[in-house]
Structure 1
Amino acid sequence: MNASTAPILETSGLGKTFGGGRTLLGARKPQVHAVRDVTLAVAPGETLGVVGESGCGKSTLARMLVGLVPPTSGTIALDGQALTDAAKAGPRAFGRTIQYVFQDPTSALNPRKTIRQILEAPLIHLIEADAPARERRVAELMDIVSLRPEFLERYPHEFSGGQAQRIGIARALAAEPRIVVLDEPVSALDVSVQAQVLNLLSDLRTRLGLTYLFISHDLAVVEAIAERVAVMYFGRVVETGPVDEVFRAPRHPYTRLLLSSAPAIGARAEASDAPQAELPDPTRPPPGCAFAGRCPNVRDDCRTAPPPLVPMGRGRAAACLHPLPAEGADGPA
């Protein structure tokens, strides 16, 4: 992100825990630490990809950003305004700034509503548009996502996955948000349909001046659509930077493991040099680096406290006490 550009979306120390408290008999309930101390900034007009293996907290982070899940700690700010302050202005102000596209396009649409009713809902509840304005906007939305007008009177089950996701994108754009959070938006689609939806998203970002937060476990998809990437592991961001540089020369050992594990056409899977170990227990996070048990570079100081996300030049940062060598370096950084 350009240092001179004020971020449109920021998080600071964002965390989320589930569970906790005590039972009726006084026994302590387990508490799951889903997201821990996430600090990010997204510039207007950019696409930030968020990657990591299943269970790393990507979707929980996405849901906090759009208000579907309240954070346990930390802050979220839109245009420098804290989310708690924005919420006082009412859901309309917040809903018109940031919207959400769900992973499963079919289950995200109400099966009892027609497509017209689905697209009109945000126009009624967020911007209170009258009937003629809703008619015009719904027609615009169908054109934007390249769907035929006669589809408006049909129901979600009558559409393919790619068409349903286009409807989901249209619904997210109905109230003209500036930020769209996309949670695995193409993972449920065939590869050829994925390409169509990704091309549509790229075109919409350019045409409408949108900012994307793109959540995915597919590194190739993130590389194709994002300028910057944030890598998450066990609820924390462990590396950030320009997507091409991070994927070419990762600084965090987990990022290297993630990249080496990604399947590629024409290449055989190779054994990793990372130690085989179970993931940490989310109800009892380790005191040090959560990746220590799987890291080939682990040292004693890695197990004492979680390493902070440290700037490493060229817009990059990594949460590692002993990062991998920078590109062209002869030894550890």
Structure 2
Amino acid sequence: MTPALRLSDLSKTFPLGRTLFGPERPGVRAVHPITLAVPQGETLGIVGESGCGKSTLARMLVGLLEPTTGTIEIEGTALDNADPAIFGKRIQYVFQDPISSLNPRKTIRQIIEAPLKLLHGMDKAARTARIAEIFATVSLREDFLDRYPHEFSGGQAQRIGIARALAAEARILILDEPVSALDVSVQAQVLNLLADLKGRLGLTYLFISHDLAVVEAVSDRVAVLYFGSLVELGRAEDVFRAPRHPYTKLLADSAPVVGRVLSAPEGHETELPDPLNPPKGCAFRARCPFASNICATEVPELTDRDGKHPVACHHPTD
């Protein structure tokens, strides 16, 4: 079966421009080349520290950023950044802050109508019928349509954001911290809604989050990013039960757990890599308890050396 999404050597470098009299400065590589296939109907969790490249990757996937290198294919068709409508019909973004992602000057009806007009050219009668169908799907009342975003709670606004994504009839949704701004009880409602929509509509999700418990609960596979690189990829239960990369273990140990005393897994003197002066070899070696000489000279590749899930590490754990 053709994957829902395929990335081939996808990367992003932000140029820094020139100094006043000197040569052009090297850019900041936010995402190193990533090759990845996401099967249809899968939920791929994407985790990593702030600044690891998660949001940059997501913005490239929906056409908000142009990749520096590589290609994006959806269901076997390569996407062209020159035609934003192609992205809109195939892949949509659900934002972290639901209220700020909605235009405060437009009613909910106008917001939901936009993709129906611009992407599908529907007339008024067809739009009215389609909006009623979408609102029923996300369990919202139709009398909400003539209100403005500020009149809704966070959970209601996130349902509206999901409805807007569904209006485009895209098959892939990028969920960027979709429940982190919500109360815990509302988080459960939105997650249940997303699971129901996935089953009913055959959607594929890329779920970006800092909350490892949520990622483990909703994901089929998990991709771990560090300093712009994909360092571990595997089934959610395998990655969280037996992480193979020291960085993945660090993330798991840093997550708060009920009944466990909070303690920092690293010392206060720990330094993150400088994106303007990236280290040679493995970017994680300064924080890694297993680093050796090879880690300082060779960048580890994402490989499956011993029949377990792939990891980019010279000294993977069992």
Q: What range describes the TM-score normalised by the shorter chain of this pair? A: over 0.9
**Superposed CA offset, 1:115-166 (max 9, x none):** 0000000000001111111001111111111111100000000001111111
**Please, which of 11, 17, 21 is the counterpart of residue 21 of structure 1?**
17
Aligned to 1:211: 204
CA distance in 2, matches of 1:274, 1:43: 39
CA distance in 1, matches of 2:16, 2:84: 29
CA distance in 2, matches of 1:179, 1:12: 18
Select between 13-22 and 90-99 the one with higher mean Cα deviation.
90-99
Q: Name structure 2 gaps, 5 residues minimum.
A: none
**Superposed CA offset, 1:46-86 (max 9, x none):** 100000011111010000001001111122111222223xx
1:58 maps to amino acid? K
- Aligned residues of 1:182 and 1:215 also touching (Cα < 8 A): yes
1:21 maps to amino acid? G
- Aligned residues of 2:63 and 2:84 also touching (Cα < 8 A): no
Call closer, same or farther: CA 1:24–1:250 in 2, change over 3 Å. Answer: same
Aligned to 1:82: 78
Aligned to 2:133: 140
Q: Say whether 1:311 aligns with 2:304.
A: yes
Aligned to 2:27: 31
Identity %: 64
Q: Aligned-residue CA RMSD in angstroms?
A: 1.7
Residues 144-293 of structure 1: matches in 2 within 5 Å? 144-272=137-265, 276-293=269-286
SS at match of 1:137: helix
> Across the two proteins, how many residue pairs are aligned to each other?
318
- Aligned residues of 2:79 and 2:86 also touching (Cα < 8 A): no
Q: Name structure 1 gaps, 5 residues minimum.
A: 326-333
TM-superposed deviation, 1:217: 0.9
**Superposed CA offset, 1:250-278 (max 9, x none):** 11110011101100011112453689521
- Aligned residues of 1:118 and 1:171 also touching (Cα < 8 A): yes
CA distance in 2, matches of 1:273, 1:238: 19
Q: Say whether 1:56 aligns with 2:56.
A: no
- Aligned residues of 1:289 and 1:306 also touching (Cα < 8 A): yes
- Aligned residues of 1:274 and 1:296 also touching (Cα < 8 A): no
TM-score normalised to structure 1 length: 0.91
CA distance in 1, matches of 2:63, 2:269: 37
Residues 37-116 of structure 1: matches in 2 within 5 Å? 37-84=33-80, 87=81, 90-116=83-109
**Superposed CA offset, 1:19-53 (max 9, x none):** 32314544544622211112211000010000001
Aligned to 1:6: 2
TM-superposed deviation, 1:94: 3.0
TM-score normalised to structure 2 length: 0.96
Runs (4+) of structure 1 exceeding 6 A deviation are none
Select between 233-242 and 7-16 the one with higher mean Cα deviation.
7-16
CA distance in 2, matches of 1:180, 1:105: 15
Call closer, same or farther: CA 1:194–1:313 in 2, change over 3 Å. Answer: farther
- Aligned residues of 1:10 and 1:40 also touching (Cα < 8 A): yes
1:33 maps to amino acid? R
